């Protein structure tokens, strides 16, 4: 890992909070992700399953966490199982966690090698009635691959068919959505690295550069600041490409007079930032571009104010839609008749702003959070309105990451990243 070691008290607290919500006489199991093949002997870079990471800090393949708060022996109430390391692995792959190092990272005292799992797990299952399985129930999930977790669930149900089953996901959805101060600091670090990347490209962008060159400038700055790289596939979309919401080809030249929409964010310690900025390739907005840009910025600022404890995600988006409708009327993109005759299921503003305004942010770019429950302090949301005008050859989206606070306005983790049109122009034309 490139990042600095994280205080293991975060993981001790997370496990304590999770176990406090478990049923009597139950245990929970969390598996690491697989390393996925590409072809021949090539493998994709490993990324740890966010749930076992959240509960243990272990950022290593072939790891298992077992939580059993009522285990007969106290030592078995928190257990890590790790792939046994040796000199050969150290030479070919680098050092893996030792039992001592695993304790430093996680705060878990009981660590077994993975080949002991079946024996120890059988003993623990004789003491419990219910097992928590860690299923993926995120509202955006669309997983086709059978995961290590899936295989474990299938195997365990066959072997221990008399036990009851429960789901860890609802507990994790609530725990992970409210951030600890340590997590907020990590998210701030990710946002600060993103700022460095953005300031770098402001000096780099000019007519004739290619979208992939801009992507490379971000990657350079991210990695040199201890990030693994992008938190998600970057969007570097010049001109009309900005009207493709998930444009990731990044293979076109940036032309004089065009805007370029950049939806990029650095990760740090597996935590995601998520920023969008739209800037003029030549360093100067046209009158029309500036009108649309400022409209989007006003919507973003007003939407941010509405992210307060007790607010509901669905109602929040309805209110943002009203603000966007007003701005689109002012821009002449829709008229009063469009609004009066709109379909309530697809309001008139959706022609130019067709996606949501906010999503949870954390260990995942689209992080855990139950959308029908009220917002709480220390939840972190993106705010990302946009106006997309294919007939005019450009689109504008602006996005910041904000922390809901108990009182007062949300705290913008990206408050240092330039966003006002005048500031963007000044920085590009120094």
pLDDT at site 142: 85
- Nearest-5° angle of CA 160, CA 36, CA 235? 125
CA atoms of 261 and 408, how far apart (whole Å)? 31
SS3 312: coil
Domains of the chain: 9-177 (3.40.350.10), 181-428 (3.90.230.10)
**Which is it for strands 380-383 and 400-403: parallel, antiparallel or unpaired?**
antiparallel
- List per-residue pLDDT tens for the chain, 430 residues long: 889 999 999 999 999 999 999 999 999 999 999 998 898 989 999 999 999 999 999 999 999 999 999 999 999 999 999 998 777 776 677 778 999 999 999 999 999 999 999 999 999 999 999 999 999 888 888 888 899 999 999 999 999 999 999 999 999 999 999 999 999 999 999 999 999 999 999 999 999 999 999 999 999 999 999 999 999 999 999 999 999 999 999 999 999 999 999 999 999 999 999 999 999 999 999 999 999 999 999 999 999 999 999 999 999 999 999 999 999 999 999 999 999 999 999 999 999 999 999 999 999 999 999 999 999 999 999 999 999 999 999 999 999 999 999 999 999 999 999 999 999 999 999 8
CA atoms of 318 and 334, how far apart (whole Å)? 18
Inter-residue contact 273 to 393 (CB < 8 Å): no
Residues 6+ apart with CB under 8 A from 244: 237
Q: What is the CA radius of gyration of the chain?
A: 24
SS3 131: strand
**Which is it for strands 394-397 and 235-238: parallel, antiparallel or unpaired?**
unpaired
Residues 6+ apart with CB under 8 A from 60: 32, 48, 82, 83, 96, 97
Inter-residue contact 293 to 396 (CB < 8 Å): yes
Residues 6+ apart with CB under 8 A from 216: none
Residues 6+ apart with CB under 8 A from 262: 198, 201, 214, 218, 234, 235, 236, 237, 275, 276, 277, 278, 279
What is the number of other CB atoms lying within 10 angstroms of the CB of residue 87? 7
pLDDT at site 91: 61
CA atoms of 387 and 385, how far apart (whole Å)? 7
């Amino acid at each position: 890992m490139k990042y600095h070691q994280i205080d293991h008290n975060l993981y001790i607290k997370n496990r304590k909070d999770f176990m406090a919500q478990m049923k009597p006489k139950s245990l929970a199991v969390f598996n690491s992700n697989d390393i996925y093949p590409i072809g021949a002997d090539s493998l994709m870079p490993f990324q740890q399953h966010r749930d076992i990471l959240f509960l243990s800090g272990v950022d290593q393949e072939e790891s298992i966490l077992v939580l059993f708060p009522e285990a007969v022996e106290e030592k078995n109430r928190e257990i890590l199982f790790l792939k046994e390391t040796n000199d050969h692995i150290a030479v070919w792959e680098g050092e893996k966690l030792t039992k001592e190092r695993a304790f430093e990272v996680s705060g878990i005292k009981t660590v077994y090698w993975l080949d002991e799992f079946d024996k120890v797990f059988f003993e623990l299952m004789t003491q419990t009635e219910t097992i928590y399985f860690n299923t993926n129930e995120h509202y955006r999930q669309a997983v086709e691959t059978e995961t290590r977790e899936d295989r474990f669930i299938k195997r365990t149900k066959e072997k221990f068919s008399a036990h009851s089953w429960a789901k860890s996901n609802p507990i994790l959805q609530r725990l992970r959505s409210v951030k600890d101060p340590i997590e907020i600091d990590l998210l701030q670090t990710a946002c600060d690295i993103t700022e460095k990347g953005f300031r770098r490209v402001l000096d780099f962008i000019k007519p004739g550069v290619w979208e992939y060159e801009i992507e490379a400038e971000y990657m350079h700055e991210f990695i040199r600041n201890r990030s693994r790289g992008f938190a998600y596939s970057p969007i570097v979309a010049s001109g009309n490409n900005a009207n493709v919401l998930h444009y990731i080809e990044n293979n076109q030249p940036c032309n004089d007079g065009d805007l370029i929409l950049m939806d990029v964010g650095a990760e740090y310690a597996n935590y995601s930032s998520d920023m969008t900025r739209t800037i003029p390739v030549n360093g100067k907005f046209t009158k029309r571009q500036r009108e649309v840009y400022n409209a989007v910025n006003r919507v973003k600022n007003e939407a941010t104010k509405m992210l307060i404890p007790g607010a509901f995600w669905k109602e929040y988006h309805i209110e943002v839609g009203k603000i966007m409708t007003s701005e689109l009327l002012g821009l002449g993109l829709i008229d009063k008749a469009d609004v009066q005759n709109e379909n309530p299921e697809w309001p008139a503003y959706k022609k130019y702003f067709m996606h949501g305004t906010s999503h949870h942010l954390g260990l995942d770019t689209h992080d855990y959070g139950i959308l029908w429950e009220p917002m709480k302090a220390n939840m972190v949301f993106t705010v990302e309105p946009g106006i997309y005008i294919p007939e005019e050859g450009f689109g504008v989206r602006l996005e910041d990451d904000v922390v809901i606070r108990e009182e007062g306005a949300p705290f913008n983790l990206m408050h240092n990243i330039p966003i006002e049109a005048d500031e963007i122009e000044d920085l590009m034309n120094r």
